Amino acid sequence: MGALSLARPVRAVRLAVLRPLGSFTLWAAVGAAVALAVAAAGPRLLGWQSMTVLTGSMRPLLRPGDVVVDRMIAPASARPGDIVTFHDPGRGGKLVTHRVRFISRRGAMIDVVTRGDANSVGERWSVPADGRIGRVEYRIPHLGYLGQWVGTPLGRLLAIVLPALALAIIELRAVWRSPPAPDPGAEPAAP
């Protein structure tokens, strides 16, 4: 009897503490996920571009799996030390993200020398002065792996099913826990 009476307040305290804490954590996680999604994909609305780092040529700053978000700029605006994304003619026009080492103007062209932080050899390339290149504004570590996983059939399925399931559980719990609406035709209970 005594144990039972003690258990009720403990359970009530636990519920009073854990429920808001759980709710807070859940919503904070949702906020973080939304912010991450906006940070990764939102800049596209501004004409920026985001891409996943595939190699370790910019280690330790950028690692494979990181997502970099580029602002598109005029090539002449780039400065030595900036990290830029460009089509490398030496790699069949593949997109490469490396650090600018030197930049000079030659008539209507901008000549750029870039090198990955982890590389010993750089690359020279040119771009029309009125062209555009990407300058890395920020990076999101490891997000590229998540993007790749979501691209798989299982990932795509789970990315849709899991949040839908979570939402359904939250909604069902809310429905079950809400007190029944008072029946207007019912007699008041005798004292």
Partner 1 sequence: MLLGAAAVVAVLASWAPSGAQSVAGTTVSLTMNRTATLEITPTGQILATSLQPAAARTAQVGLRNIGERPSQVRLRIEPVTGEADPYLGFEIRTDGRRVFRGPLGALRSWTGTAIHLRSGQAVRLTIRVALLDTLPAAAELPEQALTIDTLEQPWAR
What tokens does 133 get? Answer: 């290149």
Closest CA to 61 of 117, 145, 123, 133: 117
User: Shortest gap between Cβ of 115 and partner 1 (angstroms)?
Assistant: 8
The whole-angstrom separation of Cα 183 and Cα 72 is: 63
Q: Which amino acid belongs to residue 184?
A: P
Distance CA 36, CA 42 (A): 9
Task: Provide, rounded to whole angstroms, the least separation between the CB of residue 168 and partner 1.
Answer: 20
30 vs 172, beta carbon nearer partner 1: 30
What is the SS3 assignment for 64? coil
Tell me whether residue 27 or residue 149 sits nearer to partner 1 (CB atom).
27
The tokens for 39 are 């940070």
Residues in contact with partner 1 by the rule CB under 8 A: 27-36, 39, 61-62, 79-83, 99-104, 106, 111, 113, 115, 117, 122, 124, 136-141
Name which of 39 and 159 has its Cβ closer to partner 1: 39
The nearest distance, CB 177 to partner 1, in angstroms, is 21
Report the residue number, 14 or 80, with the smaller CB distance to partner 1: 80
Place of tokens 């009073």: 16
Q: How far is the CB of 118 from partner 1 (least distance, A)?
A: 11
Q: Which residues pair with 27 in a beta bridge?
A: none
Q: Which is nearer to partner 1, 11 or 44 (CB)?
A: 44
Min dist. Cβ of residue 101 to partner 1 (A): 4
Residue that has been written with the tokens 């910019």 in this structure? 58
